[in-house]
Structure 1
């Protein structure tokens, strides 16, 4: 599992990004944690307003939104329930368990992944410190989740997967159809091995 954490000053932009993916049919909201209703009972404005209202409790926090993606190995077939459980475990372990957050399952890439949208302002108006969260809490959480859920380990597997490119037909690379990095690598290998300047 690979976790990517980004912060932003626009909660609206992050929610809108994920909701547009839902409209395109390549994602769906699988959980609304610490919301008054279930995800499928909430309108877009209700999802957004819950985050905006809590963020407004501390206007000094300018980069108040958090956008996390948890990315899994292409070989892993995880159910919606498993993805929800992984998201909740991860958020608890990095100190966001009591925050309102939305979990979106995306189907627009060759590997399973989820996006989590939350805020850095607690219900009492205090700010969640994210200094070194990736290196400290997130890395520890990732390793524990890999063991608990028996996921493919990111650290030991990275070297192997980067050196091993699976054969892909040399054709136009289409994002989401096959693993983009591997497809581009295959196309480049073919072109560089078969290009002849003086032919």
Structure 2
């Protein structure tokens, strides 16, 4: 099972993404609502409940947790089993006292569901977003074993990163592998056929691949990036075997012996990407100084630009581990205002069959708000007036 995690600030935008599928007339795009603890699907009712819950933590901006649980293409997962797994996943991630929705989607060739939850808890605390992706990855491995699911290697164990959806679609459409896939093949072949840093560099340069080593003035190397046809990827973006730690071991790297070969390779790479070489800054790594040149070259290749943002070592990714994706679902609607949300409860096939009890009444929730919560402006004015009267002896 692969998880794709997103943290955002627009719960209604993410909800709208799922509701559009829920009410879609296209059966291939239609979604099912497996569970929620919201009292209604009316747009205004949802907004009122959200406003009330968020008032407990008004300063929390990134309050929306949205993730998808993706099962193997050949796995048969009933709604009941999917809901049980989703609820267990939520609990392990800390979402056991939060407002949430769980939707099952049918728009891909593999079973998957989307979990949308507020990080605000009903008791006034907030679910941490620390190490989200690592925790999600670990929980997915545990659930695979417990529920007899197809087991996937964790990202830490995977030696070669699998192609993402856009890369697969591009390959099918054009008949060509993506630049990242080409790099994996070329670098992997060079690692097998060479046994030293100089021969490794020469082999790759003969095949159009430039290497950029993150080399300090002392000669120490702490990282490696691969440049191919305007596309640049850190070793980690290709897979564990392409990271400097693994490369240096397999090629018997010695700092003093290989200093000159690495320095010369870096100079040739900078010459191949001259735009980035004018941006030297104090404290910046070799890779960071080339970021602008890379961005310009990537922009000239629209087919690869979709993937560059995920593999480009100079641009942080929004997600990590198996959660990386340039899938059309990747942003989950975060940051977008809701459009065409239903204004009345829907009936018929969209009734919730497995939903837990609805959110507690608004009065109960208000009672749970700490007495130390910020007073509104009217209350503050009344308190100031009372204090002034006491001070004047009235």
* TM-score bin (small chain): 0.7 to 0.9
In structure 2, runs of 5+ residues without a counterpart are: 179-394
Q: How far apart, CA to CA, are the structure 2 residues paired with 1:111 and 1:30? A: 17
What is the match of residue 101 of structure 1? 100
Contact 1:50 1:100 in 2 (8 A): no
2:115 partner SS: strand
Alignment of 1:140-151 (within 5 A): 140-151=138-149
What is the match of residue 68 of structure 1? 67
Contact 1:27 1:107 in 2 (8 A): yes
Contact 2:170 2:176 in 1 (8 A): no
What is the match of residue 13 of structure 2? 13
Change (3 A) 1:76 1:47: farther
Contact 2:167 2:177 in 1 (8 A): no
Change (3 A) 1:52 1:116: farther
- The TM-score with structure 2 as length reference comes to 0.39
2:139 partner SS: helix
What is the match of residue 188 of structure 1? 174
Q: Aligned-pair distance for 1:35? A: 4.3
Change (3 A) 1:52 1:134: farther
Question: Aligned pair count?
Answer: 170
| CA deviation vs aligned residue, 1:102-157 (integer Å, no higher than 9, x gap) | 1000111122111111011111222221111211x212211111111111122179
The alignment yields a C-alpha RMSD, in angstroms, of: 2.7
Alignment of 1:18-167 (within 5 A): 18-25=18-25, 26-32=30-36, 34-35=37-38, 42-45=40-43, 46-135=45-134, 137-155=135-153, 162=162
What is the match of residue 3 of structure 2? 3
1:57 partner SS: coil
Q: How far apart, CA to CA, are the structure 2 residues paired with 1:139 and 1:106? A: 21
Change (3 A) 1:160 1:63: closer
Q: Aligned-pair distance for 1:23? A: 1.4
Change (3 A) 1:76 1:60: same
What is the match of residue 272 of structure 2? none
Q: Aligned-pair distance for 1:186? A: 2.8
| CA deviation vs aligned residue, 1:64-120 (integer Å, no higher than 9, x gap) | 111111111111121111110010010011111221211000111122111111011
Change (3 A) 1:127 1:76: same
Contact 1:5 1:66 in 2 (8 A): yes
| CA deviation vs aligned residue, 1:31-63 (integer Å, no higher than 9, x gap) | 11x445xxxxx3243455444431221111011
- The TM-score with structure 1 as length reference comes to 0.74
Q: How far apart, CA to CA, are the structure 2 residues paired with 1:111 and 1:60? A: 38
Q: How far apart, CA to CA, are the structure 2 residues paired with 1:28 and 1:7? A: 22
1:153 partner SS: coil
In structure 1, runs of 5+ residues without a counterpart are: 37-41, 164-178, 193-199
